[in-house]
């Protein structure tokens, strides 16, 4: 009888020891979230255009219309590797056309944004969409049209929105994902 109790106790003790080791190993294998942008709308914005009005004397007056901010209608994220993530915020970088990659002219401050990106285990089937993201473009656009970067005005600019975050489990596994948008000045086009 004592032998059976000893064997059962030994089996339980070994099972507990291996179980704790398995849990500890599983906890240390939290991967960095592989978050991707699956879709976004729109792909670009008209930020300056000329509007023509006729005054009471019959004279035509051209007034430039300038947007100081734009709203991204939607951005859809997905976590490919099944790790839940949290988007903590985003920042915006503005580039003017310059040979290959573009020349950075302005970087915004960091905008706070706390959104969870859930996954369904090992699958990538859960799509997480954030709607109506306002972006202040005034300082970036100022450098596009009359900033100190270039004496020549540009008609297009690339706006890169960089979303950043971490895993949702508190292991500080960071990630960044970005999407580029086009800003267009159609007032100078003929």
Task: Name the 3-class secondary structure at 14.
Answer: helix
Same-domain pairing of 23 and 63: no
- Taking residues 175-182, report their average pLDDT: 94
Same-domain pairing of 26 and 42: no
In a domain, 116, yes or no: yes
Q: What is the pLDDT of residues 130-152, one digit of tens each?
A: 999 999 888 887 766 554 444 45
Work out the percent of the chain whose per-residue pLDDT is above 90: 28
Contact between 60 and 14 (Cβ < 8 Å): no
Pick the closest to residue 145 from 35, 79, 50, 48 (CA basis).
48
- What is the pLDDT, as a whole number, of residue 149? 44
Same-domain pairing of 79 and 159: yes
Same-domain pairing of 56 and 92: yes
Same-domain pairing of 19 and 46: no
Contact between 111 and 64 (Cβ < 8 Å): no
Q: What is the mean pLDDT of the chain?
A: 79
Same-domain pairing of 169 and 158: yes
Q: Kindly report the pTM of this predicted structure.
A: 0.74
Same-domain pairing of 2 and 91: no
Residue 54: pLDDT over 50: yes
- Residue range(s) defining the domain that contains residue 89: 32-185
Same-domain pairing of 55 and 3: no
In a domain, 190, yes or no: no
């Amino acid at each position: 009888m004592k032998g059976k109790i000893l064997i059962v106790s030994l089996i339980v003790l070994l099972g507990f020891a291996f179980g704790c080791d398995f849990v500890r190993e599983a906890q240390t294998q939290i991967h960095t979230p592989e978050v991707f942008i699956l879709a976004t709308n729109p792909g670009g914005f008209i930020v300056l255009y000329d509007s023509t009005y006729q005054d009471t004397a019959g004279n035509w007056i051209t007034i430039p219309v300038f947007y100081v901010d734009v709203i991204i209608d939607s951005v859809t994220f997905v976590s490919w590797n099944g790790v839940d993530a949290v988007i903590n915020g985003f920042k915006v970088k503005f580039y003017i056309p310059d040979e290959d990659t573009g020349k950075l002219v302005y970087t915004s401050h960091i905008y706070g944004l706390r959104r969870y990106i859930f996954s369904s285990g090992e699958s990538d089937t859960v799509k997480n969409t954030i709607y109506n993201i306002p972006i202040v473009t005034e300082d970036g656009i100022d450098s596009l049209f009359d900033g100190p970067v270039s004496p020549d005005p540009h008609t297009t600019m690339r706006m890169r929105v960089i979303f950043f975050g971490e895993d949702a489990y508190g292991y500080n596994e960071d990630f960044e994902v970005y999407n580029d948008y086009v800003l267009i000045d159609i007032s100078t086009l003929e």
